[in-house]
Homo-oligomer: A and B are copies of this chain.
């Protein structure tokens, strides 16, 4: 088994939900989702084997996008929606 590197197993990369911009917040949302999956399944070979299956399946991509949307709700609220 090739294990996901340690930095991929940190649950909240950077250790905070606060970001400078919506763009960075969005990147964090994607990162949070990915790291959850790395923690549930830390075997890189399994993850790579699954990628062709889900990354070419529209329904899988929609489901992944939904998780990102939910993570982003939390991050956007944490940042007061980056209102000026």
Contact = CB atoms under 8 A, between A and B. Distances in A.
Chain A residues touching B, majority SS: helix
Contact of A26 (B32, B56, B58): B32
Contacts of A58: 50-51, 53-54, 60
A50 to B, nearest CB: 4
A52 to B, nearest CB: 9
A46 B26 CA distance: 23
Given A12-B26, A54-B62, A83 B73 contact: no
A46 B12 CA distance: 31
A54 to B, nearest CB: 4
A76 B76 contact: no
